[in-house]
């Protein structure tokens, strides 16, 4: 057997996400050799769809042996069983045993991990988390998630579900959340909720460039960020208010964990400083000063590679552990 | 030199708290051999006041060697320098170097630790935390604090300030807190703030037994808990509302850390199930269900011994580490 620490070996990481499945062939040092992507049909069996990308990447790998597969899943994973417990956006994966099916089909070990955990590990190993030992990762995209690296290791918690940053209550009287609570951060800061809040206010303000955009098509959080960058006051206010909500939850992490670094990733963070600044201002206002001063707030650097790279590196570590 | 792991050696733990200084002679297994207490004058130099109790306890120890001193401090401690950074209730300790002064006077190593951290460690080692590996400790008394045990070790964070549970924002528009934020848990759940809230509402409700009590003297949070236990509806409502606020912050800990056990200590928790039940109900309502189900919520068991015992055991561990 080839030892996985050989620099010539590689791993496949997959972001199992609807509507786009993203896979990467990743070297043991975290560098990406090849990328593949395909549309994901979230109602159909997921394993064969992933398998096709794995096959393509193994072909691309040529003589470089592929040692294992890591799968980033938008849901809760039980680390004991390697099975999905909850994945509301992927109904089909709950019907089967994705890890086992993929292992049978590819003859490679396949480890499942929550996608925020995967992204956090990617950023920690080769992205914006490098050089820290303790890091919190925040992802603001179609959902809001978090993950925790403590003393250089992914902190999974008692049953594998740690890091549910999106379900921190930031307004006790706020909107109902899918989780059953009220006023979770996700109810205001996830991309679809930013869009909803913007629409609600837009009815009262027709001077924004977003009003004109709304006449033609549904706009997205990315549109709001772009209009904010080009100087639209209203769009900027929406981004800033969103940053303020996120900052309230970030202060909680700073106060509880006195954490060295917080890395911000996910689609909404493409707004860059426009959103990172109000996050920092609110986090500072709402956290204990000595804790705030000890924390670096930085933007993620891996972009869409974060989940595949992190998942591949977790597959690397799992495989290495099981090698005698 | 006598090795500290010998069961015949002991340690002194002190709860440096105003108005009462509590000290205990503690064996290496956490059992308490002797207790001493004295009034603390928080404006006078603290070291000689602690030294007197240390001397008494060394006399009481007789032939059993005392190996080290642990001091639980209501403030932030820099673990690198063993010095106090902030301790708003103890102005005098900031003028000197309590650890160094005590070491000079007693010829014993003296380690300083935040009092919530000390209590958490005590409960973890010999109290309600026994048998867990990962535990969060909440203390609700004249202040609101927290501390974190991860993988069997006290989690201090990047600069030693982790666990600031009392400064979690639970109401973004709430009252101003001493920390500069608004709506921190401490602004509603610390004992003096429970009393303040009760007075505010009492003006509108004179049927409570607390109204009669208020005619004679200022009542305390302990009075409110006692009246609630004896069936006063109004007092019970105040305890339950306080539990609800605490539960909101507890849900955050559950969501972020997926922690195995949360232990509740401090004077206000003497209300027992009357407050623990509403805490659990609100925590369940506001946390992610799979995370909530993985968490045990339990009452602390060491009472006033928690800080001295925990501080003594931390002194034990520090001394053992420095033994070659």
Contact A258 B287 (CB under 8 A): no
- Give yes or no: residues B136 and B278 share one domain: yes
CB contact under 8 A, A170 and B172: yes
Helical segments of B14-141, H only: 46-61, 98-106, 115-126
Q: Do residues A243 and A146 both lie within one domain?
A: yes
Q: Is residue A5 part of a domain?
A: no
pLDDT score, position A7: 52
The number of beta carbons lying within 10 Å of the beta carbon of residue A293 is: 13
Question: By the CB < 8 Å criterion, does A317 face chain B?
Answer: no
- Our count of domains for chain B comes to 2
**Alpha-carbon distance B264 to B189, whole Å?**
13
Helices (H) and strands (E) in chain B, counts: 11, 12
Residue-level pLDDT at B2? 46
Pairing of strands B135-140, B110-114: unpaired
Residue window 146-165, chain B: list those with CB within 8 Å of chain A.
146, 148, 150, 155-165
Hey, CA dihedral for A49, A55, A61, A65, is it positive or negative?
positive
Asked if B179 and B203 sit in the same domain, the reply is yes
Q: Do A288 and B165 touch (CB under 8 A)?
A: no
Per-residue model confidence (pLDDT) at position B211:
79
Residue A282 has pLDDT above 50, yes or no: yes
Using the structure block, give the residue that is written with the tokens 């007197």: B52
Residues 116-145, chain B, touching A (beta carbon < 8 A): 134
Q: Does A104 share its domain with A212? A: no
Closest-CA distance, B30 to chain A, in angstroms, reads: 26
Residues B315 and B111: beta-carbon distance below 8 Å = yes
Instruction: Give domain status of residue B183, yes or no.
Output: yes
User: Domain residues for A23?
Assistant: 10-120+306-322
Angle, CA of B112, B118 and B121, to the nearest 5° = 135
d(CA A41, CA B260): 37
CB-based contact B253 A256, cutoff 8 Å:
yes
Q: Between β-strands B32-39 and A296-299, what pairing exists: parallel, antiparallel or unpaired?
A: unpaired
Residues A111, A207, single domain; the answer is no
pLDDT tens profile B38-87? 999 988 899 999 999 999 999 999 999 999 999 999 999 999 999 999 88
**Interface contacts A/B by beta carbons within 8 Å:** 143
Check if B281 contacts A (Cβ < 8 Å). Answer: no
What's the pTM? 0.93
Is B282 found in the same domain as B146? Answer: yes
Q: What is the percent of chain A where pLDDT is above 70?
A: 95
Residue by residue, pLDDT tens for chain B (324 residues) are 445 444 579 999 999 998 999 999 999 999 999 999 999 998 889 999 999 999 999 999 999 999 999 999 999 999 999 999 988 888 888 888 999 999 999 999 999 999 999 999 999 999 999 999 999 999 999 999 999 999 999 999 999 999 999 999 999 899 999 888 999 999 999 999 999 999 888 877 677 788 777 776 688 998 999 999 999 999 999 999 999 999 999 999 999 999 999 999 999 998 999 999 999 999 999 999 999 999 999 999 999 999 999 999 999 999 876 544
Nearest residue of chain B to residue A77 (CA atoms): B290
User: What local confidence, expressed as pLDDT, does residue B311 receive?
Assistant: 98
Q: DSSP string spanning B271-303?
A: GTHHHHHHHHHHHHHHS-HHHHHT-EEEE-S-G
Same domain, B221 and B292: yes
Q: Cα-flanking dihedrals φ and ψ of residue B245, to 5°?
A: -60, -45
**Do residues A111 and A54 lie in contact, with contact meaning Cβ atoms separated by under 8 Å?**
no
Torsion of CA A35, A41, A42, A46, to 10 degrees: -60
d(C-alpha A144, C-alpha A188), whole Å: 10
> What are residue A156's phi and psi, to 5 degrees?
-90, -20
Instruction: State whether A189 and A268 are in the same domain.
Output: yes
Asked if A118 and A41 touch (Cβ cutoff 8 Å), the reply is no
Name the A residues in 60-99 with CB < 8 Å from any B CB. 76, 85-86
Alpha-carbon distance A223 to nearest alpha carbon in chain B (angstroms): 28
Residue A4 reports pLDDT greater than 60 = no
Report yes or no on A4 lying in a domain.
no
Residue whose token pair is 């994966």: A93
Say yes or no for a CB contact (<8 Å) between B158 and A182.
Answer: no
> B1 in a domain, yes or no?
no
How many CA atoms lie within 13 Å of B85's alpha carbon, on the beta-carbon side? 16
Beta carbons of B294 and A157 less than 8 Å apart: yes
Tokens of A18: 């609807």
Q: Is A243 inside any structural domain?
A: yes
Judge whether A178 is closer than 8 Å to chain B, CB to CB: no
Q: Do A113 and A152 lie in a common domain?
A: no
B177-214 pLDDT, tens digit each: 988 899 999 999 999 999 999 988 887 767 778 877 77
pLDDT at A11: 98
What is the CB-side half-sphere exposure of residue B122 using CA atoms within 13 A? Answer: 35
Q: List the single best residue of A183, A246, A258 to mutate versus B (max B Cβ within 10 A).
A: A258
The CATH number of whichever domain residue B179 belongs to comes to 3.30.420.40
Question: Which pair of tokens denotes residue A121?
Answer: 């590990």
Examine residue B3 and state whether it is found in any structural domain, yes or no.
Answer: no
Q: Using one digit for the tens of pLDDT, what is the confidence trace for A76-100?
A: 999 999 999 988 888 888 888 999 9
Q: Are B72 and B311 in contact (CB under 8 A)?
A: yes
Residue A1, in any domain of the structure: no
Are B166 and B19 in a shared domain? no
ipTM score assigned to the predicted complex: 0.91
B184 and B259 both lie in a single domain = yes
Indicate the residue of B163, B256, B259 with minimum beta-carbon distance to A158: B259
Within a domain: residue B123? Answer: no
- Tell me: do B132 and B102 sit in the same domain: no
């Amino acid at each position: 057997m080839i030892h996985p620490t050989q620099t010539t070996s590689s791993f496949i990481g997959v972001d199992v996400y609807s509507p786009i499945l993203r896979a990467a062939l990743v070297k043991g040092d975290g560098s990406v050799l090849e990328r593949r992507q395909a549309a994901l049909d979230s109602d159909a069996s997921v394993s064969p769809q992933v398998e096709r990308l794995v096959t393509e990447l193994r072909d691309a790998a040529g003589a470089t042996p592929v040692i294992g597969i890591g799968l980033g899943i938008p849901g809760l994973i039980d680390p004991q069983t390697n099975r999905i417990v909850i994945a509301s956006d992927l109904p089909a994966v709950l019907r089967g045993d994705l890890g086992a099916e993929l292992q049978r089909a590819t003859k490679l070990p396949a480890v499942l991990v929550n996608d925020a955990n995967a992204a956090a590990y990617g950023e920690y190993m080769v992205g914006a988390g490098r050089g820290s030992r303790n890091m919190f990762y925040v992802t603001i995209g179609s959902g809001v998630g978090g993950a925790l690296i403590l003393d250089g290791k992914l902190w999974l918690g008692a049953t594998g579900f740690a890091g549910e940053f999106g379900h921190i209550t930031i307004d006790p009287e706020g909107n109902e959340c899918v989780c059953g609570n009220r006023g979770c951060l996700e109810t205001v800061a996830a991309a679809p909720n930013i869009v909803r809040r913007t629409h609600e206010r837009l009815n009262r303000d027709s001077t924004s460039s977003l009003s004109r955009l709304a006449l033609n098509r549904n706009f997205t959080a990315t549109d709001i960020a772009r209009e904010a960058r080009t100087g639209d006051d209203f769009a900027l206010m929406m981004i800033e208010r969103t940053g303020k909500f996120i900052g309230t939850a970030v202060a909680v992490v700073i106060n509880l964990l006195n954490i060295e670094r917080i890395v911000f990733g996910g689609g909404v963070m493409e707004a860059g400083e426009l959103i990172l600044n109000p996050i920092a201002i609110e986090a500072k206002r709402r956290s204990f000063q000595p804790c705030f001063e000890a924390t670096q707030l930085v933007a993620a650097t891996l972009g869409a590679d974060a989940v595949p790279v992190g998942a591949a590196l977790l597959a690397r570590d799992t495989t290495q552990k099981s090698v005698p």
